[in-house]
Amino acid sequence: MADTDAVHGAGLPDRLTPAPLPTSPGPPAAEPEAVMTLVDHLTELRTRIVRAILAVIVGSLIGFLVAPAIRQFLVAPLPASALPLQVLGPGDAFGIQLRISVVVGIILAMPVLLYQLWAFVSPGLTPTERRALRPWIPLALFFFVLGVSIAYAILPFAIGFLLAFTDQVIVAHLAAPPYFDFVTTMFLAFGLLMEFPIVLYALAKVGIVSSARLSSSRRMIILGIAIFAAVATPGGDLVSPTILGGTMYILFELTVIAIRRGGR
């Protein structure tokens, strides 16, 4: 018995015990993404805003140089009886130049503005959401240009409708500042409101809305489009809100189809 115990103590059970099977190394653990603090978010937001402002300033400088030619382009829809436009204050002409410059600067800087917005928002999205929304960023620029183009296309009809109420008593001697305020506001309103399909698609991709929900709310959305179109068009005519609202409704239906095909 002592010899047997000695044999066991010499390590025989160790040799008889099956060795553990080697395990295949699994995939390396993914490193956790860095979590931005509130201060980091505010710093990032400030950086994006500063870059956007610089892009608008650069575009406005270009707009200031070409403002006289654009001014002639904007008064082309006016009838000869409404020309020339007049200013009532010594600084009105300079103010018009600045306003046209800023609007041109915003239009020229729109690609940079959209990129800065995307660069700020995209880190908070999942990789799947980023892949789904990335192709829509160039479309946002297209929709903005489409809105500005529609505004210029209907500008003669809006001006003709509004000036149709003048006569020998109310004579159309237009002042330049209100006219250019009207035109530039109309351009920006049309361009920005054309971005709403991008907003709807983004909300659908993050699970806030769905195609079924949008379809069931169609009546309320049509009412909202009509109100927005009436408020956004500064002239008070019937042509501008009708065309803007009709275009927005068509884009809404196309967006619902795109969301449904995307599985939402």
Q: Give per-residue pLDDT as tens, 51-90.
A: 989 999 999 999 899 888 888 888 887 877 777 888 887 8
Residue 181 token pair? 């305020």
* CB neighbour list of residue 130: distance below 8 Å, 6 or more residues apart: 122
Terminal alpha carbon distance of the chain: 77
CA–CA distance, 102 with 180 (Å, rounded to integer): 12
Rg from Cα positions in the chain: 31
pLDDT single digits (tens) 189-240: 888 877 777 777 777 776 777 778 888 888 888 888 888 777 766 656 677 7
Q: What average pLDDT is seen over the chain?
A: 76
Q: Is residue 47 very low, low, confident or very high in pLDDT (cuts 50, 70, 90)?
A: confident
Tell me, rounded to whole angstroms, the distance of Cα 12 from its chain centroid.
76
pLDDT single digits (tens) 211-225: 788 888 888 888 888
Q: Count CB-CB contacts under 10 A for residue 136.
A: 18
Phi/psi at 14 (nearest 5 deg)?
Answer: -65, -35
The pLDDT value given to residue 18: 52
The pLDDT value given to residue 53: 92
Q: Are 201 and 214 in contact (CB under 8 A)?
A: no
Sequence ranges of the domains in the chain: 37-261
Q: Is residue 263 very low, low, confident or very high in pLDDT (cuts 50, 70, 90)?
A: low
